[in-house]
Chain A
Amino acid sequence: MLLGTNVLMAQTEAAAGAGGQPEAPQVDWTGVAYYLLLFFLVCLGVAVVGKILKIYDLTLKIQGKKGMKWNTVMAVLCLVFLVVGLYGAYWSFTVQGSMTLPEAASAHGVKIDEMFTVTTVLTMIVFFATQILLFTFLFNYRHSEKRRAHFLPHNNTIEKVWTIAPAIVLTILVVFGFFTWQKIMDNSDAKGEVAAINVDITGHQFAWELRYPGKDGKLGPKDFKMVSAANKLGVNFKKKSSFDDLTVDTMYLPVNRAVRLNIQAQDVIHSVYMPHFRVQLNAVPGLPTFFKFTPTITTAQMRTKLDDPKFEYLVYCNKICGGGHYNMQKVVRVVTEAEYQAWLSRQKPYLSDQLRKELHFAAADQPKTGIQNRLALNN
């Protein structure tokens, strides 16, 4: 049936080209008719089967029997569903489960994965237990004229047990979750720790812009009012820390060093999502957010692990942001410290020649000698 779709319903690229004009393109009514006919035939089949069942039922009744035992049929179907469903779930877990993300490539990601495993084990026990109970009860206690249901309005002991048991399990999950969460979201540098590398990532429709600090390790402040063609991010050059900032194309990160993403958006909400590092935080216009993490596996190592020479870590956008939302990516490369330094030394300063010119004009309008001096010094 799926093959039939490809052949009949979908048109080839050639047809798409023909339909380029605003005029209504040729509709392949045969394809549509085929599906309508198919559906009609299925309906007819259902109707025929229905009639046959009805006649069978009537014959049974004429013979003085009780007619179709639909309760039993449904009870058996419930049992069949349980067995097939359990196998389906198992199949899904093994086949599709193996298509999920590889191991976490960041320090905190390992903790998230551990918690995920614990939660999965606990919930899956409940899942299988309750679904099995549900459908076996349906089969076991299917209707019978001969007996009555067991009158059991309540049982306080068992109700207390199944109130307290989930409460305890959830408390454990909450406590671990709470402390892990606090730790992950703490983006400050602890005393004695090597300062994290600040990386500025700004989202706009539909791309990410990156900015690295220069030798001072500090990112210059931004102001949306200073945005111009040459100063896309609106970096404020009234501040000294802005002058050595670098503009980069790919996010290079040294392995095993803490990175602090300085996340912001210019137009609408975006979301920095780096699933391999278990990193996600929204980029919100007017509200800078921060996420600190430590990559632990280099891109090269990951390529060997996954046996995929083309593998790249990526930043996705994970908050609906408009028509191009589905293709807003940025490559992230985790490299060794030496490679990182080499790469960093090749990057261009954010303060491009064009921007210099622009600022020069601005400076001519308003006397800002200080900035001009510094500009000159930097030359």
Chain B
Amino acid sequence: MSTLAVHDHGVAHHDDHGHEHHHNQSFLSKYVFSMDHKMISKQFLITGITMAVIAMILSILFRIQLAYPDKTFPLLTTLLGRFAPNGRISADFYLSLVTIHGTIMVFFVLTAGLSGTFANLLIPLQIGARDMASPFMNMLSYWFFFIASLIMLSSFLVQKGPASGGWTIYPPLSALPKAMPGSGMGMTLWLISMVFFIASSLIGGINYVSTVLNMRTKGMDLWKMPLTIWALFLTAILGMLAFPVLVAGVVLLIFDRSFGTSFYLSDIVLNGVQQPYEGGSPILFQHLFWFLGHPEVYIVIMPAMGISSEVMSVNSRKPIFGYHAMVYSLIGITVLSFIVWGHHMFVTGMNPFLGGVFMITTLIIAVPSAVKTFNWLATLWRGNIRFTPAMLFAIGMVSFFISGGLTGIFLGNATLDINLHDTYFVVAHFHLVMGSAAIFGMLAGVYHWFPKMFGKMMDEKLGYLHFWLTFIGAYLVFFPMHFMGLDGVPRRYYAFTEFVSMQRWLTVNTFVTWAAIMAACAQVAFLYNFITSIFIGKKATQNPWESNTLEWTTPVEHLHGNWPGEIPTVYRWPYDYSKPGAEEDYIPQTVPYSQTMSSNLPHDFEDNPKGLEELNKFTATLKANEQVK
């Protein structure tokens, strides 16, 4: 049905400029209010990258404060004005920086930027659909996200600064405007922005799920879908089930802030003045927040896992090891991620028995994660590895996922969490396992599908430079933080000058800041590469990576509806790389088994007795021929 709609859409704009080969659309409907999934994915990507750069600059600002707590930088006053009086970032603004850095990175970059870009690009292209189930909703999803981004950034313009209660915005701190400057107008904007963001995420998610379920091309059954689609599909389900709970939490917080209710507030004396709130519980908010918040970290990492699986398989020239196990572990993670949220709350005053239960579920979720890691390693084993920049980033993702995932075993254990909770150990843990790993997955995707998105190739050498500087930089930044955490250094501290025992970490902090600045500078290589390649990059061939999946059967020049003729039919799974007996080291999904008799295996016909019969006949003839010889 939507296929028809897409065609109609194309026809309706015949009378416009027509400066492109295949499109007859106005600038506005082509680049701005586009309903084409490929254009929307570019919009998500470019907005996502912009937000990432902003959030990265924020992180450099607070890293400067941590490295040089006693020094003054007049430039900061010039740039930030009242937020950095006398050349030093103020304590309140420091917390704003941390809060907005976290919010933007988690939601705007790694949720919308990652899922939005690749779900939009890959779902129709890899399952063989002409567009999303609802192109209009798809457009809305982007514009809600754009509005949310603007509102979030606009909070830097309000008098008292942006929200500053941490990205988790625990009340009462976030509920009482008098508790800190950021809990005033800044917090209101944060909440409004998040409502728009969640609307965007839900509209997008519904679209992704319905497209995957209903619009697969002929032959594309669920078990023939690439792992990217599986990951994006399950991510969308996760988001649809989890985000509404955050809306509930946010709405109740808005009520507490603006309408005098007491959902989260009770027994409060602020600056010696009793507040009229009674009967609420701050813990309730934490439950609502983390019911989203924990699935959220899997919303962030699962697309990165899917992308890495695909990229590693293509560039190892080997099938992904244990495809079924990979899918089942994704499903396992999806289900389990809903019952582990309490591990963020072991020491918040939640009933300790509940803590014990959450500890059990949390450590169970480590099993599918371990399976995925081992399967990636097995995919590389005896491969024929091509080091494209995408491949390097996928490898980096695996390395970070291991390093950061293992420390999760410490934090998921309630007993150990007592002393590690809210220390730099946690900062190190999640920046590796979901921050760096997810952003590396995203970058792998950008390098890999750039030819599909823009029809141009990115420069490989700059990609190599970008990878190594970022990879080494991220380890240099986050590895030492584990040890700060083990020394009991708390996170979200404006300066480590007031505690004698923390002063010895100052040199480490300076080192970390310089590593961060180096990694940030390395992103210039990426941005330069990204922007120039769009305009002056080498023209891409149709299937530059010799990949099996459907998106590489579409023409390089984008056209509305993706395939010029009929949508191709799918005959096989996407991972027939280096199959013995095949001519090339890859067999695209669109090649029927009848054309590859020499490489077919009995395993290919598990649920196809007729095909198996044919194969047996073929092998029998082959043997007979050999005997004759």
Contact = CB atoms under 8 A, between A and B. Distances in A.
Interface in B357-388: 359-360, 363-364, 366-367, 370-371, 373-375, 377-378, 380-387
Interface stretch (B3-11, B19-27, B50-58, B68-76): B68-76
A205 interface: yes
B355 interface: yes
B483 interface: yes
B619 interface: no
A281 B347 contact: yes
B437 to A, nearest CB: 13
Nearest to B170: A269
A323 B92 contact: yes
Given A10-B73, A123-B409, A151-B580, A326 B380 contact: no
A204 B274 CA distance: 13
A149 B382 contact: yes
B78 A166 contact: no
A310 B460 CA distance: 56
A53 B464 CA distance: 13
A141 B384 contact: yes
Of residues B274, B374, B385, B575, which shows the largest number of chain A Cβ atoms within 10 Å of its Cβ?
Answer: B385
Interface in B466-499: 468, 471-472, 475, 479-480, 483, 486-488, 490, 492-496, 498-499
Q: Which of B68, B173, B319 has the most CB atoms of chain A within a 10 A radius of its CB? A: B173
A324 B180 CA distance: 10
A320 B165 contact: yes
A144 B165 contact: no
A127 B349 CA distance: 33
A195 interface: no
Given A19-B74, A27-B78, A268-B173, A112 B416 contact: yes
Interface string B278-302: 0011110000000000000000000
A124 B157 CA distance: 46
B505 interface: yes
B187 to A, nearest CB: 13
Interface in B324-381: 324-325, 347-349, 352-353, 355-356, 359-360, 363-364, 366-367, 370-371, 373-375, 377-378, 380-381
Interface string B524-549: 11000000000000000000000000
Nearest to A25: B74
A19 B87 contact: yes
B349 A282 contact: yes
A166 B373 CA distance: 12
Contacts of A273: 422, 488, 490
B281 A326 contact: no
Contacts of B624: none
Residue in B274, B381, B419, B603 whose Cβ sees the most chain A Cβ within 10 Å: B419
B196 interface: no
A44 interface: no
Contacts of A144: 384
Contacts of A119: 409-410, 413, 416
A112 B415 contact: yes
Contact of A153 (B371, B407, B488, B603): B603
B622 interface: no
B348 A286 contact: no
Given A11-B72, A16-B87, A131 B382 contact: no
Contacts, number: 391
B363 A170 contact: yes
Contacts of B521: 39, 42
Interface stretch (B140-148, B222-230, B231-239, B398-406): B398-406
A323 B403 contact: no
B514 A151 contact: no
Contact of A321 (B173, B348, B505): B173
A173 B320 CA distance: 31
Given A134-B399, A150-B578, A153-B321, A325 B363 contact: no
Contact of A280 (B73, B271, B419): B419
B613 interface: no
A25 B9 CA distance: 57
A248 interface: no
A217 interface: no
Contacts of A85: 475
A185 interface: yes
Contact of B74 (A26, A142, A181, A275): A26
Interface residues of B, number: 134
Contact of B87 (A15, A185, A317): A15
B348 A284 contact: yes
Interface string A106-138: 000101100110011011101100110110011
Contacts of B382: 141, 149-150, 152
Given A151-B319, A154-B321, A326 B487 contact: no
B591 interface: no
Contacts of B321: 152-155
A149 B577 CA distance: 8
B261 interface: no
A225 interface: yes
A343 interface: no
A313 to B, nearest CB: 10
B462 interface: yes
Contacts of A181: 352, 355-356, 359, 413-415
B77 A287 contact: no
Given A138-B380, A268-B179, A327-B498, A2 B465 contact: no
A329 interface: yes
Given A134-B402, A154-B322, A182-B356, A177 B494 contact: no
A268 B416 contact: no
Contacts of B374: 162
A134 B578 contact: no
Given A112-B415, A275-B423, 12 more contacts: A28-B74, A31-B75, A50-B461, A78-B395, A99-B483, A116-B410, A126-B406, A141-B381, A149-B578, A205-B271, A318-B421, A325-B493
26 contacts: A11-B71, A16-B88, A25-B74, A32-B75, A85-B475, A96-B483, A100-B483, A115-B413, A116-B416, A123-B409, A141-B383, A141-B384, A150-B381, A163-B370, A167-B367, A173-B413, A177-B415, A178-B359, A178-B414, A186-B352, A267-B179, A273-B488, A282-B347, A323-B494, A325-B492, A326-B494
Ranked 8 nearest A-B pairs via Cβ: A275-B488, A286-B266, A185-B352, A74-B387, A150-B382, A96-B483, A10-B71, A100-B486
